[in-house]
Structure 1
Amino acid sequence: MSDLIFVMIVGAAAFAWWSAARAAAERAESIGREACRLAGVQWLDQTVHASGLRLRRRDDGRLGFERSFRFEYSEDGVERSVGRLVLRGDELVAFVGPVGGEQVVQALR
């Protein structure tokens, strides 16, 4: 019986981890897409790519995950540029991307 409980706890933790990672990726995708739209550039590949994960203290002092993402955009349809954003929980804490996309960052902070 205790083995079953252990397996259920591990399964629940794995699902919670996956769900939080998916939610962060969806939020990063939304931010990247909106930043590119406001900057008038083409958002390439229609996705973001996870590029880092760190444990960081949140503003309330508790430990949480800080996830980094990258995305690609093009100003002229030929050259690819890389944008980066960092989420701590669902809060945007850093953004590097297309000029004009900073408006989105200010609106989402």
Structure 2
Amino acid sequence: MSGLILLMIAAAAAFAFWSASRAAAERAGRIGRQACRAAGVQWLDQTVHAAGLRLRRGDDGRLGFERSFRFEYSEDGVERHVGRLVLRGDTLVSFSGPVRAADTLPH
């Protein structure tokens, strides 16, 4: 009986981890897509790729997962560039990739 309970707990924990991972990947995809759209560049492959997972303490001192993702974009349709972002929980903590072109000032 206790073996079944342990199996159920392990299955619930695995499902919770998988669900949180999918939610983070979807959020990372939205962030990458929006950054590419704002910068006027092409988001390639229409996806993000998980690049890392580690335990980190949040601002409140509690342990949580920090997930790293990468995506690719192109400014000219020929060359590929790599963007990276890091989510701690649901919070974006690091981003490198396309940026919105600065407005040019008239001379």
Same structural fold, with TM-score higher than 0.5 when normalized by the shorter chain: yes
Q: How many residues align?
A: 101
Q: Distance between the aligned counterparts of 1:55 and 1:8, measured in 2?
A: 24
Q: Report whether the alignment pairs 1:25 with 2:22.
A: no
The RMSD of aligned alpha carbons is 0.9
Residue matched to 2:104? none
CA-to-aligned-CA distance 1:6-35 (integer Å, 9 cap, x gap): 110000000000000000000000000000
Mapped contact 2:71–2:82 kept (Cα < 8 A): yes
TM-score by length of 1: 0.91
Q: SS in structure 2 opposite 1:65?
A: strand
Q: Distance between the aligned counterparts of 1:99 and 1:76, measured in 2?
A: 15
1:78 Cα deviation after fit: 0.5
Where structure 1 has 5 or more consecutive residues not aligned to the other structure, the ranges are 102-109
Structure 1 segments, 4+ long, off by >6 Å, are none
CA-to-aligned-CA distance 1:53-104 (integer Å, 9 cap, x gap): 1111001110001000000000000000000000000100000001218xxx
Structure label with greater radius of gyration: 2
Q: SS in structure 1 opposite 2:52?
A: strand
Q: Which amino acid aligns with 1:64?
A: G
Residue matched to 1:15? 15
Name the % identity: 81
Residue matched to 1:66? 66
Q: Which amino acid aligns with 2:97?
A: G
